[in-house]
Amino acid sequence: MSRVQVVTTALGHRFPGQPFLFRGLDLVLDPDRVYALTGPSGSGKSTLLALLAGWLAPAEGTVDRDGVERVGWVFQNPHGVARRSALDHVVLPYLTRGLCRPRAVDRARALLAEFRLDDVADRAFSALSGGEAQRLMLARGIAAGSDLLLVDEPTAQLDTETGALVNRTLAALARRGTIVVVATHDPATRAGCTDVIDLVPLGGAVVAR
């Protein structure tokens, strides 16, 4: 099995007719780590997520996704199928990966319990609170076997108490064999991650563990 790692070399990006958001970005992202991606508004956090995912081609430099076969993305506003249950949202990725339905249901229920969602497993997505929906999307990313899981401002729309629960969930994503990168303005989210990538406009980034 190949090693999973994402490496950026001299990475920089700008949009046509605009100045560079950042340049000279050298990163080595490893599994079992949760990286807080921080920086002022306009520093390019969401753009960097898109570059890491391969959804956007960099203006300069490279992004090497070694061993990354599945990329998951959890958006600021969670998207799900309104009438499908929370359980269905986690069962489906396991079925897609080849598990039989009974095994997929067992795995999904266990994962929902880890994310403190077992009591809403049979509730429709449209009936979930914002925090429940956000945690469900994180669980779905794990169920999908994402090698790289990108999370964009997960607590931006949540109250303080719900945001704290989501932050504890993010911290629990470490040690699952997944590279997790979380773009955030929230100091509590930053504190709950294992590493910090602080974008410096036009000057790369400061990385701390």
pLDDT tens profile 86-108: 999 999 999 999 999 999 999 99
| Site of tokens 């929230």 | 186
The per-residue pLDDT for range 34-59, each reduced to its tens digit, is 999 998 888 889 999 999 999 999 99
Q: How far is it, in rounded angstroms, from Cα 59 to Cα 11?
A: 8
Decide if 50 contacts 62 (C-beta within 8 A): no
pTM here?
0.86
Q: Higher model confidence: residue 154 or residue 51?
A: 51
Residue range(s) occupied by CATH 3.40.50.300 in the chain: 1-69+147-209
- CATH 3.30.70.20 applies to domain 1-69+147-209: no
CA angle 155–161–163, rounded 5-degree value? 15
